[in-house]
């Protein structure tokens, strides 16, 4: 996982309830890069606009009450203006989220006041195209009291989005005529029947926690574990927003949720969007539950490496 501005302490979970004095400050810098990325195991490339050259952008992980000092650079080598909008921040839009031209840099600061999993994205016009081309990611804000929800044994981060074969076709984006729906920037990235796929694994009786973001830009996700039932669902990833025994949960574009799953029996449990046009166009992730699952504290989120 590419974690920007996080520490091993934030990754592993905190001991006890931190005071305001123990809140941390994270310096997070991202660079807008207009580049080609691989989106499919046979080497299919996508003309993307990205944060740090990857889709989704780097995951940011902090703790409730922490301060984030953020800087975005738009290099001279780019052609288009770019911006940043953190859904975890509560700050002035016009001042902080404005687009910057190639050769410019912008910085702003916010306090992560509410726990959860949140979307971030470029807000430059046309926003629909900037998101469709890959300028999005996730920020996880852990609760300052880890006891407010069950401890997870294993964590994954899944970011769903739509892709277009022609990312210059803004009219097709407005018409919702997308070609692929993907998890973490790859078509069938976690499907074992496809070349270059990666594995999602867990052990029986482990509490698996999935931080899920729907980047859109247009389609709703209806997340379902085939052969299982979500033990807990937390709207926006906030422990206070808890549902139990949920078969399918809808997450709109630009929104997020956290899902807990405890599988008791070994087997394969596909995680899909039950909006089937999305699932059949690439948004299927096969979870293998096996006693020999490899240890993975947080599922890597990296550019596709076929």
**271 has pLDDT over 70:** yes
Helix, strand, coil percentages in the chain from 3-state DSSP, rounded to 5: 10, 45, 45
What pLDDT does 42 receive? 83
pLDDT digits (tens, 9 = 90+) for 198-209: 889 999 999 999
**20 has pLDDT over 60:** no
Relative to beta strand 207-216, strand 154-163 is parallel
* Same fold yes or no, 3-148 and 154-289: yes
> Which residue ranges make up each domain of the chain?
3-148, 154-289
Which residues, in sequence order, are CB contacts of 65 under 8 Å at separation 6+? 18, 20, 23, 111, 112, 113, 144
**171 has pLDDT over 70:** yes
What pLDDT does 196 receive? 73
Q: CA–CA separation, 258 vs 241, rounded Å?
A: 10
CA atoms in the 13 A half-sphere facing the CB of 138: 36
What pLDDT does 41 receive? 85
Other Cβ atoms within 10 Å of 41 Cβ, number: 19
From the candidate CATH numbers 1.10.760.10, 3.90.550.10, 2.60.40.420, 3.30.70.260, the one assigned to the domain spanning 154-289: 2.60.40.420
What percentage of the chain reaches a pLDDT higher than 70? 90
Quick one: average pLDDT of 26-42?
95
**261 has pLDDT over 90:** yes
Phi, psi of 59 (to 5 degrees): -75, 135
CATH T-level assignment (fold) for domain 3-148? Immunoglobulin-like (2.60.40)
Tokens, residue 76? 């001279």
Of 202, 256, 264, 253, which is closest to residue 229 (Cα–Cα)?
264
Q: Exposure pattern of 190-209 as b/e (b: 16+ CB <10 Å)?
A: bbeebebbbebbbbeebbbb
Tokens, residue 281? 């166009």
Residue 26 C-alpha from the chain's centroid: 19
Lowest mean pLDDT among 6-15, 38-47, 99-108: 6-15
């Amino acid at each position: 996982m590419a974690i920007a501005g996080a520490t091993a302490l934030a990754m592993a979970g905190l001991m006890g309830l931190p005071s305001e004095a123990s809140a941390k400050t994270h310096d997070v810098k991202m660079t807008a890069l207009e580049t080609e990325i691989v989106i499919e195991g046979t080497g299919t490339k996508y003309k993307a606009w990205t944060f740090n050259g990857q889709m989704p952008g780097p995951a940011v992980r902090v703790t409730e009450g922490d301060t984030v000092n953020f800087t975005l650079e738009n290099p001279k080598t780019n052609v288009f203006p770019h911006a940043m909008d953190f859904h975890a921040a509560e700050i002035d839009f016009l001042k902080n989220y404005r687009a910057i031209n190639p050769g410019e840099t912008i910085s702003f600061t916010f306090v992560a006041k509410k726990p959860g999993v949140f979307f971030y994205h470029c807000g430059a016009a046309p926003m629909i195209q900037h998101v469709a081309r890959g300028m999005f990611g996730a920020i996880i804000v852990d609760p300052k009291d880890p006891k407010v929800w069950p401890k997870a044994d294993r964590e994954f981060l899944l970011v769903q989005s739509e892709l277009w074969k022609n990312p210059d076709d803004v009219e097709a984006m407005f018409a919702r005529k997308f070609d692929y729906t993907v998890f973490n920037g790859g078509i069938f990235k976690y499907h074992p029947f496809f070349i270059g796929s990666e594995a999602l694994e867990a052990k029986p009786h482990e509490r698996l926690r999935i931080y899920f973001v729907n980047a859109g830009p247009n389609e709703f996700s209806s997340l379902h574990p085939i052969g299982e039932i979500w033990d807990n669902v937390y709207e926006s990833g906030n422990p206070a927003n808890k549902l139990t025994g949920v078969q399918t949960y809808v997450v709109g574009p630009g929104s997020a949720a956290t899902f807990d799953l405890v599988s008791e029996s070994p087997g394969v449990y596909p995680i899909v969007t039950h909006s089937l046009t999305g699932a059949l166009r690439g948004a299927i992730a096969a979870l293998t539950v096996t006693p020999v699952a490899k240890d993975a504290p947080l599922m890597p989120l990296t550019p596709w490496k076929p």
